[in-house]
Chain A
Amino acid sequence: MCVALPGKVIETNGMVGKVDFQGNIVNVSLGVVDAKVGDYVLVHAGCAIEVMQKDAAEEIIELFAELETMHNES
């Protein structure tokens, strides 16, 4: 129910915009995010809930690196 999917913003027009989900273009509400064209946003029930800072693959690589410092320091 709380699933949200990342897509790329290709057009913005105030509170609404168009987001590209791997070729599927969908109208999305941008009312609670500060998104620019080119940003990746996390979309839930037709509404962008956050601008993604990076993609999942990149994040996972960084987390592996961080875990080491997080748990080895003390």
Chain B
Amino acid sequence: MNLETIIKEIGEYKGPNLKFMEVCGTHTASIFKNGIKSLLPTGLKLISGPGCPVCVTPSAYIDKAIEWAKKPDCVLLTFGDMMKVPGFTHSLSEAKAEGANVEIMYSPHEVLKKAGSNPSKTYVIACVGFETTVPVYSLLIKQLEENNISNVKLLTALRQVLPALEFICSTDSEIDAFIAPGHASTILGSDAYRNLALDYKKPFAVAGFEAEHVVIAIYDLIKQMEKGKHEVHNLYPSAVRPEGNKTALETIDQYFTSGPAYWRGIGTIENSGLYLREPYMKYDAGSLGLSDDADKQTSKCRCGEVILGKINPDECPMFGKACTPLKAKGPCMVSTEGTCGIWYRFSDRK
């Protein structure tokens, strides 16, 4: 089998209409960058899922981060992606322009040096991410403990992929099959999707991020659907083991426990958040109960529907008009992996 035959077979698909969800924003980006949508037959739609942690972070979280950044002797550290996400009134980037102490980090571990040499300052880290990123924070707490550093706090909006997928499967049966996120699966393992595949009778393909990886996953899912299978196929074995990264999973479990979490535009999903366990709550910067959402009250942003695959970004009346990457109305337009932003940047490749 080679790429040409696979592409040809995908293009020739004539069965019932299918909807596949690519859960992860990095897959969405790869699909657009590589023009994969142009290879698809009319009966097959790819829907972008909730797999961008920045896009699902509630407005109340941004406000809390800004509150810290405005305190004297306090520095808020964040990944660059978060800077333009709107809170109720401001984004971090606007707050910074008004004098709040916001610094962009590349790795949360940078804080160790800073906190060690500036003991009078408090460093608050905006911890946003899925399972891929959580071990990074576990290791950080371990080091804070070992080095007796007490002037670092974590403001967490950590989310788990499986409860979100369960939510989609149980509330929206329109999705026929899933392209599972490659790097979250590195931690979780491909076996993690087994129960979902069985319970909801949906095939899963764990895929890497090269164009070929994505094409192979689409082909695999079509074949599974044609044969009435609902298996989990690991098509990224170079980085994903069936059992995942056990050490990483153990460190997550050591420091974090699951609880309900609010997904912007979607609502609260049981057990979908990760929060510091009791012995480590001293490092928490007020992460519990951040569930208010500006979108609901003040704007007509339809990110929630976009994230759940109910509408395409260009069906939002603000897309490309009131809402562009430079003046984003919703988080899906801000993040480099947000569906609206990707659609906007690659609008010639739909």
Q: Answer whether A and B are interacting partners.
A: yes
Chain A residues, CB < 8 A from B321: none
Instruction: Check A49 for interface membership: any CB of B closer than 8 A.
Output: yes
Whether A32 pairs with B108 at a CB distance below 8 angstroms is: no
Chain A residues, CB < 8 A from B238: 52-56, 58-59
Whether B107 pairs with A45 at a CB distance below 8 angstroms is: yes
Select B186's contact among A42, A45, A64, beta carbons within 8 Å. Answer: A42
Provide the B192-225 mask, 1 if CB < 8 A to any CB of A, else 0: 0000000000000000111011001001100100
| B residues 1-52 touching A (CB-CB < 8 Å) | 1-3, 6, 24-26, 51-52
CA distance A15 to B109 in the complex (A): 12
| A residues 14-66 touching B (CB-CB < 8 Å) | 15, 29, 31-34, 42, 44-47, 49-50, 52-56, 58-60, 63-65
Select B139's contact among A31, A42, A74, beta carbons within 8 Å. Answer: A31
Select A1's contact among B79, B135, B247, beta carbons within 8 Å. Answer: B79
Whether B247 pairs with A4 at a CB distance below 8 angstroms is: no
Whether B337 pairs with A1 at a CB distance below 8 angstroms is: yes
Chain B residues, CB < 8 A from A54: 238
Chain B residues, CB < 8 A from A67: 1, 6, 216, 219-220
Whether B136 pairs with A47 at a CB distance below 8 angstroms is: yes
Task: Report B219 CB to chain A, min CB distance, Å.
Answer: 7
Whether B183 pairs with A44 at a CB distance below 8 angstroms is: yes
Task: Report A33 CB to chain B, min CB distance, Å.
Answer: 7
Chain A residues, CB < 8 A from B247: 31-34
Whether A29 pairs with B109 at a CB distance below 8 angstroms is: yes
Chain A residues, CB < 8 A from B240: 50
Indicate whether A70 sits within 8 Å of B237 (C-beta atoms), given known contacts A45-B107, A47-B107, A64-B1.
no
Indicate whether A60 sits within 8 Å of B136 (C-beta atoms), given known contacts A1-B129, A46-B107.
no
Q: Which residue of B lies closest to A59 (CB)?
A: B238
Chain B residues, CB < 8 A from A70: 220, 223, 233
CA distance A1 to B129 in the complex (A): 7
Instruction: Check B128 for interface membership: any CB of A closer than 8 A.
Output: yes
Indicate whether A45 sits within 8 Å of B245 (C-beta atoms), given known contacts A4-B183, A55-B238, A60-B213.
no
Provide the B39-75 mask, 1 if CB < 8 A to any CB of A, else 0: 0000000000001111000000000000000000000
Q: Which residue of B lies closest to A1 (CB)?
A: B53
Instruction: Check B272 for interface membership: any CB of A closer than 8 A.
Output: no
Whether A49 pairs with B54 at a CB distance below 8 angstroms is: no
Whether A1 pairs with B216 at a CB distance below 8 angstroms is: no
Whether A42 pairs with B183 at a CB distance below 8 angstroms is: yes
Instruction: Check B271 for interface membership: any CB of A closer than 8 A.
Output: no
Indicate whether A15 sits within 8 Å of B248 (C-beta atoms), given known contacts A53-B239, A59-B208.
no
Provide the B229-252 mask, 1 if CB < 8 A to any CB of A, else 0: 000010111111100010110010
Whether B233 pairs with A56 at a CB distance below 8 angstroms is: no
Whether B128 pairs with A1 at a CB distance below 8 angstroms is: yes
CA distance A39 to B29 in the complex (A): 28
Whether A45 pairs with B133 at a CB distance below 8 angstroms is: yes
CA distance A65 to B51 in the complex (A): 30
Whether A64 pairs with B133 at a CB distance below 8 angstroms is: no
Whether A49 pairs with B248 at a CB distance below 8 angstroms is: yes
Q: Which residue of B lies closest to A69 (CB)?
A: B1
Q: List 15 A-B contacts (CB under 8 A).
A: A1-B132, A2-B51, A2-B129, A29-B109, A29-B139, A31-B139, A31-B247, A32-B248, A45-B79, A53-B237, A59-B237, A59-B238, A60-B213, A64-B2, A64-B3
Name B residues whose Cβ lies closer than 8 Å to a Cβ of A: 1-3, 6, 24-26, 51-54, 79, 81, 106-110, 128-130, 132-133, 135-136, 138-139, 142, 181, 183-184, 186-187, 208-210, 212-213, 216, 219-220, 223, 227, 233, 235-241, 245, 247-248, 251, 335, 337
Q: Which 8 residue pairs of A and B lie closest in terms of their CB atoms, listed nearest first?
A: A46-B107, A32-B248, A2-B132, A31-B139, A47-B136, A71-B223, A59-B238, A2-B183
